[in-house]
Chains A and B, each alone.
Chain A
Amino acid sequence: MTATRETLLALENVSVAYRTRAGLLPAVLDVSLRIQAGEAVGLVGESGCGKSTLAMAIMGHLGKNGRLTGGSVRFAGNDIGGMTREALRRIRGPGIGMVYQDAMSALNPSLRIGTQLTEVVRVHLGGSQAQARAATHAMLVETGLADPERIMAAYPHQLSGGQQQRVVIAMALLPQPRLLLLDEPTTSLDVTVEAGIVDLLATLRRTHNMAMLFISHNLGLVGQICERAAVMYAGEVVETGDVQQIFTQPRHPYTMGLIRCIPRPDLPRSLQRLIPIPGQVCAPDARPTGCGFGPRCDHFVSGTCDRAAIPLLPAGTASVRCVRAAEIGGRAVTAPTAVDVQRGGDTILAVSNLDKVYPLRGRTKDVVRANQGLSFDAVRGQTLAVVGESGCGKSTFANVLMGLTTASGGEIMFETIDLAHLPVARRPAALLRDLQMVFQNPDETLNPSYAVGRQIARAVRKLGVARDKAGVRARVQALLGMTRLPEAYARRRPSQLSGGQKQRVGIARAFAGEPKLVVADEPVSALDVSVQAAITELLLDIQRTQRTTLIIISHDLGFVRYIADRVVVMYLGQVMEVGAAESVFELPCHPYTEALLSAAPTPDAATRRDRIILAGEPPSAVSPPTGCPFHTRCHRKLGAVCETERPAGQALPPDHRIFCHIPVAELTRVQADASLAGRSNQAPIDRSVTASDC
C-alpha cells in the first residue's frame, strides 16, 4: 500500500435504503471505503449486514426498490450514482467485474459456455468471432481449466461447481476489469475446491494487476486474499485496517466477538474455547441509538454507547467505530482456558465392512457406491466426527445408521443390536428413543405448521418419557431451558424464530427421550458464524451433562477439531483415516487429510500451512478408481501400487489407522519436511502426478 497508488474506488459516506411496505429500510449506513489500484480489500460480516447491498451500490445496480440515500460512489473519479444507463454499461465489465456466489445461476443454462464467453468479449472489446474465441480459450486456460475446448462446448450443468465458478471468474476477467467484486465466491464450494479458487484469485490479481473487493463471512479466507479489510455490522463499517492487525489486535468488540466464534483447525481443542456473541443482528427498522452493536456488546456502557451516532474514528493505522475502543481494543484475543477432554468408556457403536449401494435411476445396471467397507467404532460418551467433502458418503452413513435407508452389506452393532438392515419402521420403541438426530437445515428441521412447544411435546410423548399432561409440559420446559430458549417460545411457530433458535428447538427435540446416541448432520453449517459458536457450545454442553454419544457429520475441519474426540476421514465412500482427533490433526496423516487441513482457511498468517491444491475433480462414485480411491488426485502418489491395490490400514499408536501405501515413517518425514519448508508441498517423494481432470 503505497501512497502513490491511484485511488480506484472511493465510497464517501454511502447510505443505501430499500423502499418497503414498512417505509424506507436502511441497509447500508455511512460507509466510507477506498480501494487503490491493484489492492485487495475484504468486506467481512454476517448475513444481513449490508455487504451485498454495498456491492450492488458499487455496480450502480440497486434494483427498483433500492436507493442511494446519501454519499457518493466514485469509480476512477466518476460518480456511479449520477451515471446514465449507457455510462453504467461501459463501466460494468471493463471497469468493474463481478463474481457472484451462485455460479450456476450466473450462467445461462441453455447456452454453451463458449457462446456466453465469446459474447462478453465481442460486446466489450469488439473484434471478430475468431479473435473472441482465441481470447476466451486463453482466459479459460488462465483460470486453470485444463481442457478449454471441452469446457467451451459444454453447457453449465455439465460442469462441476468448481469449474462453473472458474468459468464465471473467466467471464468477469475477459473485459479486463480494473476492479473485481467477489460476493462470497467460494461459499457453496467444498474446502479443497475453495482452496484452488483462492489460489487462482491470488495469481490472477498479480498477473492482471487488478483491485479486488472480496466479500465473505469467512474471516480466514479474507485473511488469505486481502491486505486490508472492513468489518461490517448492521449496515455500518465498524472497523477497517490491515487484515493481520484486525485478526491479531481487533479493536471493535464485534470483530473480537467474531474471532472468538471461529474454531480453528490449526489449534487443538485444549487451546481454544468458543465464546458466542449473544442475541442477533438488530432489524433494520429497530436500530438502537448510538452503537448498533450495543445490545449485544459486553462492553456496553449506558449513556456512553447509546447517546448519539458513533463516527468511524481513526485508531493508529486503522479506523474503528467504537467510543470505547481505546479502553478495550487492540489486544490479542486470548483463548480462555478450555474444558477438559471427555474420557471415553466402552464401545457403543461398532461399524464393520458397511456397504451401501444405490441403483441409478433408469434402465442402467450401474450403481452408486456410497459406502464401501466402512469400519470404525464410536466410544460411549465421546464425540465421533465423520469428515469429508460433499458426495463422500458421510450422510449416507448417517441415514443407514438412523434406519432411513438400509445397508447393502456389513453391520452396525449398536450395543447388541445390528442396525444395518433394520429400517426405522421396524425398530422397537426403546431403540428409537436411544437414537436421535439433529438435522442440517434449520428451515426444514421443524414443521412450519405447529408451535415449537407442541412439536417437542409430541417427541416427549411419542418417545415415552412422559405421558400425562403435566409431565409432558414439565419436560418440554426443561428441554427449552436446556437449549437456553425462553419458556414463552413454546407457543411460537418456526417462522417466528431465527435460524439458531430453530436449531436449538431441533436439538431439544432430539434430546427429548434422553438418547444414548445422537447423530448431528452438519448441525451448524447453515448458520452464521456467531450462531455457529453458540450451537457448538450448546451441543458440547449438553453432551457433557447428559453423557450422550455424538456422531457429527461435517466438512468443517475447524468445527470438527473443536468438537470431536475421534475422527473418521472419508473419501468416495471409503475410510481414509480414523483415529483420535489429536493424532489425526497432527502429523503424520493421510495425504487426503493433509490436503483438507491445508485447505481449511485460518485467519492467522503465522500459523497458516502451505496450501495443497488437489488436481482435478473428485471422481464419480459410480465408477470409483481402483486401488486407493484417492490416487487420481493424490499429491503423494507412489505409483502403480496406488492404482491397483487398496491400501491396508497402517496402525499407529494409540488407536490411529491410516489407509495409505506410503509407510508411516516415510509419511512422517515428507509431511514434516513440507510443513517446515513452509512453501513446498512438492516434497521429495517418488511420484508422477497424473493431472486428472474429471
Chain B
Amino acid sequence: MSEADAKFAAALPQPPQGARFGWVRHIGRSSVALIGLSILGFWIVVAIAAPWLAPFPPNQSIRPMALPGAMGPNGTTFWFGTDYLGRDILSRVIWGTRTVLTYAPAATALAFAVGISGGLLAGYRRGWADEVLSRLTDLVLAFPALVLYIIIVSKFGASGLNIVLAVTLASSPAIMRLTRGLVLSLRTRAFVAAAQLRGEPAWRIMFVEILPNASGPLLVDACLRLGYVVITIGTLGFLGLGLPPPDPDWGSMVNETRKFALVFPHMVLFPCIAVSSLVLGLNLLADGLRELVAQE
C-alpha cells in the first residue's frame, strides 16, 4: 500500500512550499491591493528621499504667499506655492511625510503590541483576566476618542512620544476586542489541545500556536488602522496638539494656514491631498488583503 501511495504521491502536483503567508505573495492577484501598495510605496520613497527631493529647506522663509508654479530665486519654481511665512509648501509636504510615516507606524505598532497581548490573554485565559480586560476595553471605547486625545496631549504636552501613547491608549482596546474574538474561535481547535498535552507553556501557545493563525485579519486591520492613525495625527496637528512647530507635519500645516484658505486654497489643499492619498492607499491595501485572506 505504501508503495502505491508513494507512486500516487509522486504524480500529484507539487504545491509551492512554505505557504503560511501565501496570500501575501499572491498580492499580484488583487489589483486593488497593488494600487494601494504602490501609493504607500510612493510615500515611503518620498519620506526616505526627502533631503534630495525637497527643493528648499522646509523651515526657511523665502517669499510669502507665492502661488503654485510661481518662480522662486535662482530660477527655481514653487510648484505648490509658499505659505504665509514664505516657506515652500512642496518641501514642507515632502518633509512632513517623514513625520507622519514615523509616528503613525510607531503608534500603530505599539497599539497592536498592547492590543494583541491583551486580546490573547483575555481570549485564551478567559476567567477574571477576560472580565477585567473586557471591562477596561468597554470603558475606553465608551469615551470619545478625540476627547481622550485632547485630554492626554494637553495634560502631558504635545510631543511625538505623547502622541504615540495617546493613540495606543485609544486604539488598543478595539484591537484587543478583535484579537480576543479571533482567539476564542482558535483556542478550541485540536492543535491547541495537542500543544497543551505536550506541556507547552501558555505564552507559547498564545504567541506561537494561536497568533500566527490570526495574522490575516490582524494584518488587514493594521492597514486600516494605520490609515486612521494618519488621520488622527493630522487631526491632532490641526487642533494645535501636534508636534511643536516649526517642523512640518501635514495636520499642523493645514491648521497654520486655514485662515488664508479662502484666498490661498493651495496652502491647505496640498497637505490635505497628501493625507487623503496616503489614507486611500492604506485603505485600498487593506481591502485587497481582505480579499486575499478571504480566498485563503
Contacts and interface: CB of A to CB of B under 8 A. Distances in A.
Interface of A: 276, 278-280, 283, 286, 295-296, 402-404, 424-425, 427, 429, 432, 435-437, 439-441, 444-451, 455, 458-459, 462-463, 484, 486, 489, 491-493, 495-496, 506, 509-510, 513, 534
Contact of A278 (B1, B13, B19): B1
Nearest to A458: B198
Contacts of B209: 447
Contacts of B212: 447, 449-450
Contacts of B15: 492, 496
A283 B11 CA distance: 11
Contact of B1 (A449, A459, A484): A484
Contacts of A429: 199
Nearest to B29: A21
Given A439-B194, A447-B209, A492-B17, A278 B8 contact: yes
Given A462-B200, A493-B20, A445 B4 contact: no
Contacts of B213: 447-449
The contact size tier of chain B is 20 to 34
18 contacts: A276-B1, A278-B5, A296-B4, A404-B193, A404-B197, A436-B197, A436-B198, A437-B194, A444-B191, A447-B209, A447-B212, A448-B213, A450-B20, A459-B198, A462-B198, A486-B5, A489-B9, A491-B17
A446 B198 contact: no
Contacts of B190: 439-441, 444-445, 506
A491 B7 CA distance: 18
A279 B194 contact: no
A25 to B, nearest CB: 14
Interface in B1-55: 1-2, 4-9, 11, 13, 15, 17-20
A403 B11 CA distance: 43
A283 to B, nearest CB: 8
A404 B19 CA distance: 31
B185 to A, nearest CB: 11
- Pick the 7 closest A-B CB pairs, nearest first: A279-B8, A278-B4, A439-B190, A449-B212, A447-B191, A444-B189, A444-B190
B196 interface: yes
Contact of A295 (B1, B2, B8, B20): B8
Contacts of A440: 190
Contacts of B7: 279, 295
A486 B9 contact: yes
Main secondary structure of the interface of B (DSSP, over half): helix
Given A463-B198, A510-B194, 11 more contacts: A276-B1, A295-B7, A295-B8, A404-B193, A424-B196, A424-B197, A436-B198, A437-B194, A451-B18, A462-B198, A484-B2
B125 to A, nearest CB: 12
A402 B197 CA distance: 7
B196 A279 contact: no
A295 B7 CA distance: 9
A588 to B, nearest CB: 38
Interface string B196-211: 1111100000000100
Most chain A beta-carbon contacts within 10 A, residue among B18, B198, B213, B215? B198
A499 to B, nearest CB: 13
A324 to B, nearest CB: 18
A459 B196 CA distance: 11
B196 A425 contact: yes
Contacts of B191: 444-447, 455
Contacts of A534: 1
A486 B6 contact: yes
Interface string B215-256: 100000000000000000000000000000000000000000
Contacts of A463: 198-199
Contact of A279 (B5, B17, B198): B5
Contacts of A436: 197-198
Q: Please indicate which of the listed interface residues B13, B191, B193, B212 has the most CB atoms of chain A within 10 Å of its own CB.
A: B191
Nearest to B198: A462
Contacts of B9: 486, 489
Residue in B4, B18, B190 whose Cβ sees the most chain A Cβ within 10 Å: B190
A298 to B, nearest CB: 9
A479 to B, nearest CB: 14
A495 B18 CA distance: 10
A279 B11 CA distance: 10
Contacts of B193: 402, 404, 437, 439
B8 A280 contact: yes
B198 A432 contact: yes
The interface centre, meaning the residue of B7, B197, B212 with most chain A CB atoms within 10 A of its CB, is B197
Contacts of A278: 1, 4-5, 8
B101 to A, nearest CB: 30
A92 B235 CA distance: 60
Contacts of A404: 193, 196-197
A449 B196 CA distance: 17
B13 A286 contact: yes
A360 B239 CA distance: 52
Contacts of B17: 451, 491-492
Contacts of B198: 432, 436, 458-459, 462-463, 513
A534 B8 CA distance: 15
A222 B4 CA distance: 30
Given A432-B199, A486-B6, A493-B19, A445 B1 contact: no
Contacts of B20: 449-450, 493
B18 A493 contact: yes
A513 B2 CA distance: 24
Contacts of B1: 276, 278, 484, 534
Contacts of A279: 4-5, 7-8
A509 B4 contact: no
Interface in B153-196: 189-191, 193-194, 196
A435 B20 CA distance: 30
Nearest to A447: B191
Contacts of A280: 8
A185 to B, nearest CB: 28
A229 to B, nearest CB: 27
A297 B191 CA distance: 35
Contacts of B11: 295
A435 B197 contact: yes
A424 B190 CA distance: 15
A450 B19 CA distance: 9
Nearest to B202: A425
B149 to A, nearest CB: 36
B71 to A, nearest CB: 55
Contacts of A450: 20, 212
Contacts of A444: 189-191
Nearest to A484: B2
B64 to A, nearest CB: 58
A627 B190 CA distance: 36
Contacts of A445: 190-191, 194
A483 to B, nearest CB: 10
B41 to A, nearest CB: 27
A423 to B, nearest CB: 9
A70 to B, nearest CB: 27
Nearest to A512: B198
A512 to B, nearest CB: 8
A153 to B, nearest CB: 34
A496 B2 contact: no
A432 B197 contact: yes
B194 to A, nearest CB: 7
B19 A509 contact: no
A486 B12 CA distance: 13
B235 to A, nearest CB: 37
Contacts of A462: 198-200
Interface string B57-99: 0000000000000000000000000000000000000000000
B115 to A, nearest CB: 20
Nearest to A463: B198
A510 B18 CA distance: 24
The residue among B5, B8, B215 with the most chain A CB atoms within 10 A of its own CB is B5
